[in-house]
Structure 1
Amino acid sequence: MAAPADWTVFGEPAAALTQAEAVQPLAYERPGQNFPGSAFYFLEDTPRLAYALPENAATLYDPTGTGDGVAAELAAARVAGPAAAAFRLSGTGIDKARALHCLTSAVYYEAASEAIGGQRAVAQVVLNRVAHPSYPNSVCGVVFQGSERKTGCQFTFTCDGSLARKPMKAAWDRALTVAQQALAGEVYEPVGLATHYHTIWINPYWAPSLDTVGTIGAHRFYRWRGAAGRPAAFTASYRGAEPAAAPHPRSAAPEPTAAADPVALARAYEEARASAAAASPGTAARTPAPDYASPVEARGGDAAFTAGNLPSGGTVRPEYANSGRWIAQPN
């Protein structure tokens, strides 16, 4: 570039400009101030912009999966309440294979066209039900609950003929990955302890009776109110024993009207909990004594192994009755 000898850029001397543009080494690039792997401690975390969103930001949704639904999911996590415990897969190899197939089916047929967040939310609801005593204690049992009925099944794809549609391999593999991660213990916190959901295009009668968690993907999620929706209620331990990964045979019996009603399930849980709390531990039936051999029976049988000579509880000898009491008149 042709310019006079004393020409400068925006009034700054050329030497000052060169010095300003000099690259300064970072802390982990300076000798004596780093160690192998120290660069990772200087990496900036991705800012969680969802914290600046209003409380109603959880109502955002992305049914097509083409937009940025991460912000809405993070906002939903703020109002979702306590997160579920990590799922622990157990049982035989057949049990694990059945659980994976059933959970993959639920994710695929319920949320195949949604973003990963929407699919993980559906998988988390299934596992939340497995951990609740109001539902079967198996993945396949939860997914195919009520499939023997024409209506009233817990997941509509199990009784409306959707299973006759052959899955698309790419979408199935995507749902399979989500199911594998959920069964491996990954918890999707934005839905918390939600046990129910419905699509955003309907408004079921039971929705006002539950607490809204948020909307992720094309589904709106809910959790139970009261004791049925608290973390202490999700205590069922998974043991495997998975049934067949298929719908139940159609039943000719009359369909119960309240079989899938979440309000009825919550009421039944509350009643069972109250009955258990009212029962006295002293009224529990004693285990029958085993059959002993003749020599043992001659020595007293079960009485010889029963601690019947222990001091009765609640009695204190008179000389120790005031132990631990403050001395009214110290010597």
Structure 2
Amino acid sequence: MTRVAAIDCGTNTIRLLIAEADRDQSGSSRLKALRRRNEIVRLGQGVDRTGMLDPAALERTLTVVDAYAADCAELGVAPGGAVRRFVATSATRDARNREDFVAGVRRLLGIEPEVVSGQEEARLSFSGSLLGVRGGEDAGVQKGGERVQAPRLVVDLGGGSTELVLGVDAPSAAISLDTGSVRITERFLTGDVTPDSEAAARAEVRGLLDEAEQVVDLSAPGQLVGLAGTITTVTAHALGLQAFDPQTLGGAELNPQAVLASCEAIVHSTAEQRASWGYLAPGRRDVIAAGALVWSEVVTRVVERTTAAGRPLERVTTSLYDILDGIALSLVPAQTESEGTEA
């Protein structure tokens, strides 16, 4: 197995995964996590409005990058890009001064950070999600006289962008939308959620989903899979959890109605309610209403389209495996000699 370090730097959080990784002769991927870290740094603070990374946000983020470099050294991840990969997504893509950030990462980690496209972000998210989602054989469709596995729709809902990826074992269609919990908050929901602000936010998301449908067939999925912090929060709320519980949340399946009911409650929650939810990190409290609004629009649209196609969506799955795991897997050759270590 290969010891690798993957870093995912998004609009709201920066995360580290150090793992032993490999693929067996059949191409199946395996990861044995050695350390996971997650810090909310809000790198994308104000980027939607100014087009620039805020100096304070940049400093917060590079402080965490320095700590992650120390983790790599402690756990013996070799220097160099062969086993270390740093992926920056929406906020860094949008910032005119992103070179300041790139230079800081290069200095601290000794590798070139990649400011990836929305399409690459989508591909990595789909790859990682496969580690935590069981197959959809029971959600098959008739095709050519035989029953085949329906594709899954993987949705990675971040702070600044949301990726929709359709496929079975690999993406067949994907799009990255400029919407997410931080972006919608800064555009529409900086104060209390009012009928007018909510309506404007929903109109924006619906317009983007109209564009998405030109690329991704939202009537096709037999399974809807959600990734990232907003979706785990909605799932924890729907399950009535008292704290973040990965054993319960990973692979959790809910009917769409339960998801939408929790989204509605979160969108209209009070600050006191959000502070009482042990599964909601303090750094996510001010943007979770916007995230839940985006997720509710996605789920609603998929339910509408699959129902119209005669294959109503029956379940929404939460995966704790996502783009971070996909980044780690991307560092491993397509085939390596299996050493028999379980993921």
TM band (smaller chain) = under 0.3
TM-score by length of 2: 0.24
In terms of fraction of residues, the more strand-rich structure is: 2
TM-score by length of 1: 0.24
